[in-house]
Chain A
Amino acid sequence: MLTVVVFLPAAVAVLLLAIPRIPDRLCPHVWVAAAALDVVLVGWLWWRYADEEAGGGIAFEARLDWIPTVEAGYHVGVDGVSLPLIAMSAVLFLACAVWSVRERQRPRTYAALFLFLQTVCLGAFAALDLILFFVFFDLSIVAMYFVIAGWGHGDRRRSALKFFLYTFLGSLALLVGFIGLFLGADERTFDMVALAADPPLRDSPLAAGLVLLAIGLGLAIKTPVFPFHTWLPDAHTDAPAPGSAILAGVLLKLGTYGFARIAMPMLPEAWERWAMVVVIVGVVSAIWGALVALAQTDAKRMIAYTSVNHMGYVLLALGAVGLAGQADTDAGAVAAVGAIVQMVSHGLLTGALFLLSGVLWTRGRTHEFSQWGGLARPAPVFAACLAVAAFGALGLPGLSGFIAEFQIFAGAIQAAPVPAIIAVSGIVITAGLFLLALQRLLTGDTAIPARVPVRAGAGARRFDDGDGDDGGEDRGRSENRTGPMPDLSRWEVGAVVPLLALSVLIGVAPRALLNVVEPAATTLASVFGG
């Protein structure tokens, strides 16, 4: 069943490529249908999860030998950590599909690439084998490279290359770490469940530390945390809006998920020993990300840096779990819950924010704050969505971000009081920068950039038309650009509003999510202090 969920999008992608009879304009609709079907299937998984999991927390397991020589196999399953992330990814991919319905530039390849990316991301979350995880982890980089290089804007080739090289370096470090785990295990295997049950390298702290360093480096680049975050702003700025949403919403989670799934349960002693370093790195990322975001003049870049900030909180929480281990497992569990909820919440909210920034791009070909102003008047729906997403991202009670950050700090303050208090101040900065952004974009005199340069020639226009949502009702107005800004189209509303609604739902009624997350978080925290 889980296998179907994972590979359904890829199968549809192959169909799209293999059957040229499907007209180009219909491809995005096929994509939406496939993504929607996947969401339904994930919903079914969620519904059946409580019944299916048998004690160990893992449900829907499937196993197949792949390379018996090194004990690597196709082994998938979901638990309380991966299921929420799978659900969040499926929803976000659906949102991106809906958002891209009007994609004009090679819609077939575009849809196929995103469907492939969806398979890869879901697969990485579902993988219970290190090599399988690595396979999906690496393929996510490849697919995202082509998304940025093929459909991005600005200096996209360079950004895509930087993204590829940087994160590929991380994935190779990860591979070296995995090999270390394999060689260090008593019974050599790449199976995550087996490795977590009998953590390798218990009696050699140095080797365990080195392996943790390799894995940590790999995941830190992906997450990304300071000082490995420099690929992120460029990749985000030049990626198409759905690409950014997926990159921030799903791919970054692979990094933090890897910490929770691999580094912590498999190297518990090393994690405990180096937990303070993790906490400090997390806090520095949070503060640094917030400060740099504050200094941005480009809306998309600003959102990109807030990802660094939010991922810093996740890392702070995971480090705190290691620190709290000995003294107070309950505090550790609270922090772990916070980390997982933060991953889900950040995926939804940042996905929405990036899609909204894509609205700016399709209307005016720029994300510069200075070019925009007073958008609340011509585009009230856009303004409302942006406000909700921004308030969610800064942690306003009633939205998912609050549930996450509250638990992170509640769990961390006991284990690491000083870093936690410093990190809280990051929230103030984030609040400031989001309010500033809202003020710049939504209030004041209405300012909408003219779209002169792109109208130069029909041929050139087609290349530049990356986000392609300017057909239909918006075409008539684009002839004289000084007119009012068109508000969100039906499809854009259909993409963004469900994300925000889910965030509010988690904020108001978090039980449905927490019931799944809490047992897994307790298991994660109980690894320590044993």
Chain B
Amino acid sequence: MVDPLVLLPEFLLLAGALAALLLGLWTPRDRQRRAAVIAVVACVASAVATAGALPGGTETAFHHTWIVDGTTGVTRLVVAAALIAAVVLCRSAFAHHDRETEAYVLVLLAGIGAIALSASADLLVLLASYLLASIPLYALVGFAKDARGVEATLKYYLMSALVGVLMLLGAATLMLAAGQTRYDTLEASLPQAPTGVVALGALAVLAGMAFKAGAVPMHFWLPDAAAGASPAAAAVITTVPKVGALAAAFRLVDMPFADVDANVPVLVAAIAAASMTLGNLAAFGQTEVLRLLAYSSISQVGYVLMAVAVAARSDLADAGLAVYLAAYAVANVGAFAAAAVAPRARTISEWAASAARSRWLVLSLTVCLLSLVGTPPTGVFVGKLAVFTAAGDGGFGWLVVLAAVNTVASLFYYLRWIAPAFTQHTASAASSAADVTPADVTPANVTPAQSAPAAVVHVTAAGSVVLGVLSGLWLATTVG
């Protein structure tokens, strides 16, 4: 039977979601903070439960359809941390909203879906996880019920439904080829199956993961969804499901597709190359903060996919995935939190005008964005180092060169945000104390609703650097 302790982190999140939902029903609107507290406590408990079990060997549940190993552990920890930040951001965005509690519940459920994606060791479980990771987010994207949000939700929903059907088709094809849906049996039987059928099925299943991860060519929904949602919701959809989907893709390439004749690694490498390049190119022209970050997250997925491509070829791949996912999540949440500091500012210059007064905020934002570039000694630098090394080790030298070029290119658009913030800060610092600052940006006017995201920015910036410096420790505890 199933050892309940194996699934303890998921149970804790689920219990937190249910408790928050029930408590929220009986709580007056102005005291819904307690639901947020419960959600945060559940996330912390889940992370602690995960950390307590690390570094463990591989365990399975539900007749080998659910697998708990280092990759799952990484996803659990990263998702729990991202959920805490997401709850804090949602609190500041939706405080005293009619449906405030629902936001926390949706976020937690999406987090469980993401963990389920990474833990799936069966195509049917993967499909169910896909739905669990998607459906709460439709509601979250359209939470504000404004025109942009509703349009974004509809686009997200339609694309997601289409890709879900495609995945179902892929799973059916693979089952047709091998007579099985469990990864461990697929790994043995797929190499004997007809190559064309396997290739078709693998392509369709990976398409689902590419969609959730926002990888080219399944990325169209992401910028619209991110720009239409609030920064808090955008932070969730560009972090939580991506982490789960990338871990799931890693597992797919590592287990069922490891020995098939169809050259899955090259396919993934091509997706990686397209994602990083097109994401970057599209980000160049963006003037809106959220769209810029959405495209940046598309290109970041490309780098992670380098580790996925060599999942079965290089011993360094799982280390690369473990560091990169964590580092990306931290830095990405930080950047979106910076956007949430000034939720009404859509463009970069508006943001700089309203939020760049604080020296520390600009410094932390700079750290987060430079971390996304991959500047040492931040986490993403170690992640890039590890995935580049793994990709080179796996024989994708060309991909490493392309990724290096893309990294340089990405610097350009991150600087487009850093430079105005820095200059704005310069200008405001240079103006004398006697100057009357505009009423809307005096320190007194920064309400608590905006200081919480700023705190998230600071914490993530510090976290980025700490993760980089202590990456050895992180790797030792997660992948062993």
Are A175 and B388 interface neighbours, CB within 8 A?
yes
How far apart are A522's CB and chain B's nearest CB, in angstroms?
Answer: 33
Interface string of B464-480 (1 = CB under 8 A from A): 00000101100110010
A70 touches B430 (CB 8 A): no
Which residues of A have CB within 8 Å of B400?
176, 179
B429 at the interface (CB under 8 A from A): yes
The answer to whether A164 touches B376, judged by C-beta atoms less than 8 angstroms apart, is no
* Consensus secondary structure, chain A interface: helix
The distance from the CB of A207 to the nearest CB of chain B, in whole angstroms, is 9
User: Which of these binds chain B: A31-39, A61-69, A274-282?
Assistant: A61-69
Q: A157-B419, A169-B408, A463-B430 are in contact. Are A176 and B475 (CB under 8 A)?
A: no
Number of residues from A at the complex interface, CB < 8 A: 36
Q: Is A331 an interface residue (CB 8 A)?
A: no
CA A462 – CA B429 in complex, angstroms? 11
- Shortest Cβ distance from B381 into chain A, in angstroms? 7
Question: Contact check: which of A69, A106, A131, A164 meets B475 at CB < 8 Å?
Answer: A69
Q: Is the CB of A179 within 8 A of B423?
A: no
> Closest Cβ of chain B: how far from A8's Cβ, in Å?
18
- Whether, in the assembled complex, B124 has its beta carbon less than 8 Å from a beta carbon of chain A, the answer is no
Contacts of A161 in B (CB 8 A): 412, 415, 419
| A157-B423, A175-B385 given; A164·B411 CB < 8 A | yes
Is A180 in contact with chain B by the CB < 8 A criterion?
yes
Indicate whether B259 reaches chain A with its CB closer than 8 angstroms.
Answer: no
Provide the B354-390 mask, 1 if CB < 8 A to any CB of A, else 0: 0000010000000000100001110001100110110
Is B266 positioned at the interface, with any CB of A under 8 Å from its CB? no
Contact with B along A114-146 (1 / 0, CB 8 A): 000000000000000001001100110010001
Q: Are B389 and A179 in contact (CB under 8 A)?
A: yes
> How far, in angstroms, from A168 to B430 measured CA to CA in the complex?
29
Question: Which residues from 141 to 178 on chain A have a C-beta closer than 8 Å to any C-beta of chain B?
Answer: 142, 146, 149-150, 157, 161, 164-165, 168-169, 172-173, 175-176
User: Quick one: which of B426, B430, B471 contacts A66, CB cutoff 8 A?
Assistant: B471
**B475 to A67, Cβ gap below 8 A?**
yes
Interface presence of B250 (CB below 8 A): no
Inter-subunit contact B377/A135 (CB<8 Å): yes
Docked-complex contact A70 and B385, CB < 8 angstroms: yes
Do A149 and B422 have beta carbons less than 8 Å apart? Answer: yes
**A175 & B411 in contact (Cβ 8 Å cutoff):** no
Smallest Cβ distance from A18 to chain B, in angstroms? Answer: 10
CB contacts (< 8 Å) of A72 on chain B: these are 385
- With contacts A179-B392, A183-B389, A183-B392 taken as known, whether A70 is within 8 angstroms of B316 at the C-beta atoms is yes
Inter-subunit contact B375/A69 (CB<8 Å): no
Q: Is the Cβ of B408 less than 8 Å from the Cβ of A138?
A: no
Chain B hits for A139, CB < 8 A:
375-377
> Given A175-B388, A182-B389, A183-B389: A168 and B408 within 8 A (CB)?
yes
| 5 interchain residue pairs of minimum CB distance | A135-B376, A172-B404, A69-B319, A169-B408, A67-B472
Using CB atoms and an 8 Å cutoff, list the residues of chain A in contact with chain B.
65-70, 72, 105-106, 109, 131, 134-135, 138-139, 142, 146, 149-150, 157, 161, 164-165, 168-169, 172-173, 175-176, 179-180, 182-183, 459, 462-463
**7 A-B contact pairs sorted by A residue (CB < 8 Å):** A67-B475, A72-B385, A138-B381, A157-B419, A179-B400, A183-B389, A463-B430
Knowing that A68-B472, A69-B319, A168-B411 are A-B contacts, what are 11 other residue pairs whose CB atoms are under 8 Å apart, sorted by A's residue number?
A70-B385, A70-B386, A105-B430, A106-B426, A109-B429, A139-B376, A146-B422, A175-B385, A179-B389, A459-B431, A463-B427
